[in-house]
Amino acid sequence: MTAILRAEWFKLRKSKMVPIILAGPIIGLFIGLSANLEDNMSGVPINEWYIALFSMNLTYALLFLPLITGVFASLICRYEHQSGGWKQLLALPVTRGKVFVAKYVLIVLLVMAMQLLYLCSVFTVGMIKGYTDPFPMEIVWKSIVGGWVATLPLVALQLWMSIMFKSFAAPFAVNVVFTLPSIFAINSERIGPYYPWAQPFSMMYIGGSTDDVFFVPWEQLLTVVGGGFILFFLGGYYYFQRKAI
């Protein structure tokens, strides 16, 4: 497994990965610096860091986080879709299951790296704006880790789609089609808690109860995120096992 991960990482380094990882955090940084919610909420007893995190999450977690995870999945399968790459890879002494798991783990690590860079963006916004309130470490970490956990089922689904379609644009287009409705889904009490593409925002939204894990109830975390992960991961795993190469 370690050798497969190294090989996948080597292939991914040849792609334009760094600008993609930086795109979301940089956009969040600009949103945080340009938003002036502090002026609109003057006199309201609320931690300034919450205001910055809320304004940045609104765009980052709702749109860019699920979209960029789809780009990662397309990039990690791009070489195999070119010039019979799948046949060359599977001709080596590796199993299909290990290849699928290695690609999934690498995407998940890339998403975590992007989340940590986003955390740096949040901290940078506060430093530039001169926030004097104490940094809410527990709340911020819940938001960062919660957003990462919420992408686990989406990464599995997008990896499945990337293996299925040879075109780089096809799985990304599918991701866009389902990401955009999340803007409306989050405003629905009936659809929002169960819509997979809305979960990154729900898990990073600091307006929820701070007593709940990642600001969402345990039932929502286990059924939607946990159930979605099992469904999409096993679906993609067994599809790859039976895929004609």
Position 197 confidence tier, pLDDT thresholds 50, 70, 90: very high
CA angle in degrees (0–180, nearest 5) for 166-66-184: 115
CA 164 to chain centre: 20
CB burial string 83-105: b at 16+ within 10 A, e below: eeebeebbeeeeebeebbbbbbe
pLDDT digits (tens, 9 = 90+) for 83-105: 777 788 778 788 888 889 999 99
- What is the pLDDT at residue 231? 95
Which residues lie closer than 8 Å to 116 by C-beta, 6 or more apart? 144
CB atoms < 10 A from the CB of 13, how many? 9
Residue at token pair 């780009």: 71
pLDDT at 139 over 80: yes
CB atoms < 10 A from the CB of 3, how many? 12
- What is the pLDDT at residue 191? 85
- What is the pLDDT at residue 38? 58
Which residues lie closer than 8 Å to 160 by C-beta, 6 or more apart? 232, 235, 236, 239, 240
- What is the pLDDT at residue 65? 93
Residue whose C-alpha is closest to residue 158's, from 183, 186, 178, 181: 178
Position 212 confidence tier, pLDDT thresholds 50, 70, 90: low
DSSP string, 42-69: TTS---HHHHHHHHHHHHIIIIIHHHHH
- What is the pLDDT at residue 40? 56
- The better pLDDT of the pair 78, 225 is held by 225
- What is the pLDDT at residue 184? 87
Evaluate the CA torsion angle 233, 236, 241, 245 in order and state its sign: negative
pLDDT at 43 over 60: no
pLDDT at 188 over 80: yes
Q: What is the mean pLDDT of residues 218-239?
A: 92
| Conformation bin of residue 215: beta by default, left when phi > 0, alpha when psi is -120 to 50 | left
Evaluate the CA torsion angle 132, 133, 134, 139 in order and state its sign: negative
Q: Are 139 and 203 in contact (CB under 8 A)?
A: no
- The better pLDDT of the pair 226, 48 is held by 226
DSSP string, 176-237: HHHHTTHHHHTT-TTTGGG-GGGHHHHHH-TTS-TTSGGGS-HHHIIIIIIHHHHHHHHHHH
- The better pLDDT of the pair 1, 71 is held by 71
pLDDT digits (tens, 9 = 90+) for 154-175: 999 999 999 988 887 888 888 8
Q: What is the mean pLDDT of residues 22-46?
A: 75
Residue at token pair 């370690």: 2
Q: What is the mean pLDDT of residues 45-67?
A: 85
